[in-house]
Copies of this chain bind each other. A is one copy, B any other.
Amino acid sequence: MADFAKERNWDQFHSPRNLLLAMVGEVGELSEIFQWKGEVPKGLPDWKEDEKVHLGEELSDVLLYLVRLSDICGIDLGKAALRKVELNAIKYPASKNYGTNDDGTAEMCG
Residues of A in contact with B (beta carbons under 8 Å apart) = 1, 4-5, 7-10, 12-18, 20-32, 34-44, 52, 55-57, 59-66, 68-70, 72-77, 79-81, 83-85, 87-89, 92, 94, 97-101, 104-110
Q: Determine the distance from Cα of A92 to Cα of B99 in the docked complex, in whole angstroms.
A: 40
Enumerate chain B residues within 8 angstroms of A106, measured Cβ to Cβ: 5, 8, 10, 12-14, 18, 36
Closest to A97 in B: B8
Q: What is the count of identical protomers in the complex?
A: 4
User: Closest CB-CB distance, A40 to chain B, in whole Å?
Assistant: 5
Enumerate chain B residues within 8 angstroms of A100, measured Cβ to Cβ: 10, 13
Which one of A18, A57, A100, A108 has the highest number of Cβ atoms from chain B below 10 Å of its Cβ?
A108
